[in-house]
Structure 1
Amino acid sequence: MTKVLVADDDPLTMAGITTLLDNTNFEVVATVNTGAAALDALASARPDMLILDNGMPERSGLDVLRTLRARGDNRPVVLLTGGINDQLAREAIQLSVNGIVIKATAPRDLLTCLETVVQGRRWLDQEVMQRAMDFAMSPDAPRDPFAVLSSRERTVAALVQRGLRNKEIASELGLTEGTVKVHLHKVFEKLEVRGRTELILLAKEHGL
């Protein structure tokens, strides 16, 4: 039996997922409605896999994925989304997301996705994957300046964008404050920005 944590802020979607997984090899061990709550529930629920809505308040599914990977947590993550832009889909793929399912087709695709992921393979909505690959290969695609960052550096940058201070980032990622300062220095250096304000402006400029 595979233990699953489900995070979605839509009660109807949550009910649909739990009903879909009834009498399957997947056991829902926790249900939460924010990304922050999903991270908080990990220690007690100890899920084998996470299904994350990408449009939650506080922390999106992609935000949670970034944090997990920055912590070195590689347990499978499936993003459930009403829609995802090409650049964010590409980032999710780079962060080794295990599945991306569109909400409109979830009744048909979600269980297939979960079964594929349990077998150690990746299942991505074909249209999303194709658009992300086309976007990456297009000569007109805007350059992502954050692509030079490591997974952990990118997560630190994302937490700075949310307004967290070094002490709060350290607590979020299970690091020392000194280690966060080192990562942040590398972020500023690689992106050629002079501080937090310029980092936030750069992210807004590129729609990140």
Structure 2
Amino acid sequence: MTGKTCLIVEDQLETGSFLTKIVKVAFPNVATVLAQDLKSAIAIINDPLRFKDAPLGLCIVDLGLPDGSGIDVIRELKEKNPDVPSVVATIYDDDAFLFKALAAGAFGYLLKADDESSLVNTLKLIENNNPPLSPSIARRLLQEFRDDDKPNKPDVNLSPRERETLVLIGRGLTVNEVAAEMKLSAQTVAGYVKIIYQKLHVSNRVELIREATRRGLV
């Protein structure tokens, strides 16, 4: 991380300052840039001159932004600079946000409620290419992905259209948005979603994203 830049996406100045402090303690030789909304973050990521002297090496993202979701920042960074890890820093500790962020490409997930020293030590895991996860998040993922569950999960044969639908749903798109993306009717996409639910044995979107992520389908 030495000589690189960390982009912090956080709309609250006080919290932005706190996260900046965390980064500086964890990585003393890293520069920081603060973006307070989705639009600014996307513009910074796509500015070729912004990181001329100190390349972008890390992005810390809040999920709740005034003009959109931090998930879109994660997706943009994943597309434009896939080697740069994005780490969520949020108050949301429920599965819906967690698995949606992971499906979008987040490398880590930190809870702002954790104490300062814990956040610093967890963030430092990046230096060894280990995902920084708050302890409660790590425990939850271990429970979800424990090895003894895997043999009980049969292979799922999804058609190309079903897999494409699943990927788009995993990115957080609605049925209407998926239909527009795939140039199909919303009724057709809804039919694909129903089939996917049956094949994955899930009953709601949170379970769908979790199960698809566990199986490596998204």
Question: TM-score, normalising length from structure 1?
Answer: 0.63
Unaligned runs of 5+ in 2: 150-157, 196-203, 210-218
Give the Cα separation in 2 of the matches to 1:191 and 1:129: 29
Work out which of the residue numbers 97, 102, 106 in structure 1 matches 2:106. Answer: 97
Match of 1:114 in 2: 123
Q: 1:48 to 1:26 in 2, by over 3 A?
A: same
Work out which of the residue numbers 25, 31, 34 in structure 1 matches 2:34. Answer: 31
The residue identity in structure 1 corresponding to 2:30 is F
Q: 1:157 to 1:61 in 2, by over 3 A?
A: closer
Work out which of the residue numbers 8, 11, 18 in structure 2 matches 1:9. Answer: 11
The residue identity in structure 1 corresponding to 2:6 is V
Give, in angstroms, the shift of residue 165 of structure 1: 11
2:20 paired with 1:18: yes
The residue identity in structure 1 corresponding to 2:43 is D
Work out which of the residue numbers 137, 161, 164 in structure 2 matches 1:128. Answer: 137
Match of 2:43 in 1: 40
Give the Cα separation in 1 of the matches to 2:80 and 2:134: 26
Secondary structure at the aligned position of 1:83 is classed as coil
CA distances 1:123-144 after superposition (whole Å, capped 9, x unpaired) = 211212322454578x9xxxxx
Give, in angstroms, the shift of residue 110 of structure 1: 3.1
Question: TM-score, normalising length from structure 2?
Answer: 0.60
Q: 1:161 to 1:64 in 2, by over 3 A?
A: farther
Give, in angstroms, the shift of residue 156 of structure 1: 9.1
Please show how residues 191-202 of structure 1 align to structure 2 within 5 Å: 191=193
Number of matched pairs:
177
| Contact 1:50–1:76, Cα closer than 8 Å, also in 2 | yes
Match of 2:168 in 1: 154
Please give the root-mean-square deviation of Cα atoms over the aligned residues, in Å.
4.2
Q: Which has the larger radius of gyration?
A: 2
Give the Cα separation in 2 of the matches to 1:95 and 1:157: 6
Give the Cα separation in 1 of the matches to 2:183 and 2:137: 35
Q: 1:27 to 1:151 in 2, by over 3 A?
A: farther
Secondary structure at the aligned position of 2:88 is classed as strand
Give the Cα separation in 2 of the matches to 1:35 and 1:85: 22
Query: How many percent identity over aligned positions?
Result: 17
Q: 1:78 to 1:162 in 2, by over 3 A?
A: farther
